[in-house]
Amino acid sequence: MSLQNNKVFSMLSIAAKAGHVASGEFATEKAVKTGLAYLVIVSEEASDNTKKMFTNMTDFYGVPLYQFGTKEELGHFIGKQFRASLAITDENLAKAVEKHLIQSKTE
């Protein structure tokens, strides 16, 4: 795991502890549709159906979407079981996580 990936996961951990993460398919979908989501992360292991559904939804609602991490990693760093998707509901935290996600893609 690269240093940037560690930063993404530690930022997710901070967001979760602050109560700014909606995780799981239904909570993530609700956060996007109610305008609370500023960033959506879908696990790289998520089903093609799940990826397509969130891609279409986030495109429609104008929310950035990234495929990142395994289901186990996403769940672990937010203190839950496996998670295929999550939404960050704080604008500043979302921007910080997105910055690290972009950097991790370029490594």
For 26-77, the pLDDT digits (tens) are: 999 999 999 999 999 999 999 999 999 999 999 999 999 999 999 999 999 9
Could you tell me if 28 and 74 are in contact, meaning their C-beta atoms sit under 8 angstroms apart? no
Q: Sorting pLDDT into bands at 50, 70 and 90, what band is 1? A: low
User: What confidence score (pLDDT) does residue 4 get?
Assistant: 75
Q: Sorting pLDDT into bands at 50, 70 and 90, what band is 23? A: very high
Residue 46 vs residues 10, 51, 61, 65, 67: alpha-carbon distances, Å: 21, 6, 21, 13, 9
Sign of CA dihedral 78, 80, 82, 85: negative
